[in-house]
C-alpha cells in the first residue's frame, strides 16, 4: 500500500511581498500538517507553487506580465520561499509537477534544477506506475501562454513507450490542468475563456494513450473558481479534480479548499482519493477505483 499526498495549487508568494493578499503560506502549512498527520509515503506538489500576480506588492495592474520585474526578482523569490516551505515542513519526499503559474522555466530552473526536478518523469513503486506530466511546458512569459495547457509531443511519446513496455501495470497520473471535462462539477467546459483555460487543450490525445494501458486514476487541480470538486470516469479511466486549495489567491483559511491524499493498494486492487477541505474543516472521499 502506498499513501500519496496531493498538494496542488499552493500559490506561495515571497516574503518580499509579505502581507500581500495572495499569500498561500498559512493554508499550505495547514495542508502539509494534514499530510504529515496522515503519514503519507510521499507527496505530489501538483503545480502552481507560486501565484499568478507578477510584479510588486502594490501593483496588481500588470497582472500576468513581467513588467516592473525585469530581473525576475519576484518569480525567483516566490520559488525560493515555496521550496523552503516544502523542504522544512513535509516529513517525507515530494515530487513537483509544474502548473501554469510556475513560469518562466529558466527562473524555475534556478531553484529547481533539471537534475533533481525533471519536468516530466515516471517511476514504479509498490507494484504501481506513477507518471508525472507537465501541462504547461513552455517558457511562459506572456499572458496568452497561460491559456495553453497542453501535453507536449515528447510527453505523449513517453506515455506511448510506457504503455508498450507494460500495458498491465496499474498506472496513476498526476498533472496540473484537467485531462477530462468534469460535467459533474460544471456543465460549461467550452465557452470563451473557460474553453481554453480550464482543460488541457489536447486532452483527447492524452486520453487515448492512457487508455492503451491500465491507467486507473488521474489527479489534477488548477480549476479555481471554487465550483467544487468531482470525479468522472471516461472509458475506464477515473479523473479526479480537487477543490482549488488557495482560492483565487485568498489567504483566509476559511475560504481554502482541498488537500488530498490517495491510497493505492495493489493487493486489494483498489485506489481511494480522500480530501480534507480546510475551509469547511471536513473530510470525504473524492474518488475510488478498482481493477
Ligand atoms: Fe493553475
Q: Which three cell numbers stand for residue 129?
A: 506506475
CATH number at residue 280: 3.60.21.10
Whole-number Å distance, alpha carbon 268 to ligand 1 midpoint, is 34
Least confident of 130-134, 189-193, 207-211, 282-286: 189-193
pLDDT in tens, 5-62: 999 999 998 877 655 566 889 999 999 999 999 999 999 999 999 886 554 444 444 4
Q: Is the pLDDT of residue 65 over 60?
A: no
At 260, phi and psi to the nearest 5?
-125, 165
Rounded distance, CA 125 to CA 198, Å?
A: 30
Degrees (nearest 5) of the Cα angle 205, 113, 8?
Answer: 55
pLDDT in tens, 110-167: 999 999 999 999 999 999 999 999 999 887 665 544 667 999 999 999 999 999 999 9
Whole-number Å distance, alpha carbon 167 to ligand 1 midpoint, is 30
The whole model's pTM is what? 0.93
For residue 18, the model assigns a pLDDT of 54
Q: H-type helices in 18-60, by residue range?
A: 25-37
Q: Is the pLDDT of residue 64 over 50?
A: no
For residue 56, the model assigns a pLDDT of 46
Whole-number Å distance, alpha carbon 64 to ligand 1 midpoint, is 13
* Number of folded domains that form the chain: 1
104 cis-preceded (ω within 30 degrees of 0): yes
pLDDT in tens, 211-230: 999 999 999 999 987 778 99
Whole-number Å distance, alpha carbon 224 to ligand 1 midpoint, is 7
For residue 224, the model assigns a pLDDT of 81
Tell me which residue range forms the domain holding 83. 2-290
pLDDT in tens, 227-281: 789 999 999 999 999 999 997 667 889 999 999 999 999 999 999 999 999 999 9
For residue 63, the model assigns a pLDDT of 44
Whole-number Å distance, alpha carbon 149 to ligand 1 midpoint, is 9
The residue-averaged pLDDT of 169-181 equals 97
Rounded distance, CA 87 to CA 28, Å?
A: 13
Whole-number Å distance, alpha carbon 34 to ligand 1 midpoint, is 22
For residue 69, the model assigns a pLDDT of 66
Q: What is the DSSP string of 61-80?
A: TTTTS-TT-TT-HHHHHHHH
Whole-number Å distance, alpha carbon 46 to ligand 1 midpoint, is 9
Amino acid at each position: 500500500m502506498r499513501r500519496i499526498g496531493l498538494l496542488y495549487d499552493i500559490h506561495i508568494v515571497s516574503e518580499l511581498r509579505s502581507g500581500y493578499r495572495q499569500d498561500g503560506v498559512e493554508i499550505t502549512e495547514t495542508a502539509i500538517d494534514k499530510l504529515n498527520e496522515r503519514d503519507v509515503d510521499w507527496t505530489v506538489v501538483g503545480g502552481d507553487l507560486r501565484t499568478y500576480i507578477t510584479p510588486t506588492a502594490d501593483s496588481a495592474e500588470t497582472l500576468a506580465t513581467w513588467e516592473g520585474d525585469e530581473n525576475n526578482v519576484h518569480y525567483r523569490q516566490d520559488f525560493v520561499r515555496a521550496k523552503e516551505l516544502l523542504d522544512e515542513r513535509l516529513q517525507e519526499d515530494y515530487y513537483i509537477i509544474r502548473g501554469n503559474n510556475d513560469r518562466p522555466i529558466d527562473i524555475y530552473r534556478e531553484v529547481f534544477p533539471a537534475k533533481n526536478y525533471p519536468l516530466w518523469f515516471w517511476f514504479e513503486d509498490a507494484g504501481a506506475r506513477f507518471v508525472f506530466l507537465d501541462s504547461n511546458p513552455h517558457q511562459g512569459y506572456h499572458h496568452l501562454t497561460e491559456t495553453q495547457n497542453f501535453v507536449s509531443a515528447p510527453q505523449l511519446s513517453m506515455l506511448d513507450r510506457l504503455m508498450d513496455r507494460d500495458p498491465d501495470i496499474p498506472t496513476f497520473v498526476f498533472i496540473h490542468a484537467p485531462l477530462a471535462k468534469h460535467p459533474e462539477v460544471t456543465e460549461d467546459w467550452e465557452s470563451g475563456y473557460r474553453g481554453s483555460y480550464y482543460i488541457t487543450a489536447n486532452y483527447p490525445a492524452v486520453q487515448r494513450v492512457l487508455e492503451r494501458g491500465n491507467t486507473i486514476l488521474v489527479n489534477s487541480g488548477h480549476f479555481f473558481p471554487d465550483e467544487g470538486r468531482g470525479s468522472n470516469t471516461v472509458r475506464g479511466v477515473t479523473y479526479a479534480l480537487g477543490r482549488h486549495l488557495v482560492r483565487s489567491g485568498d489567504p483566509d483559511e476559511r475560504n481554502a479548499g482541498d488537500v488530498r491524499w490517495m491510497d493505492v493498494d495493489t493487493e486489494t486492487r483498489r485506489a481511494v482519493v480522500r480530501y480534507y477541505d480546510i475551509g469547511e474543516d471536513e473530510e470525504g472521499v473524492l474518488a475510488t477505483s478498482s481493477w
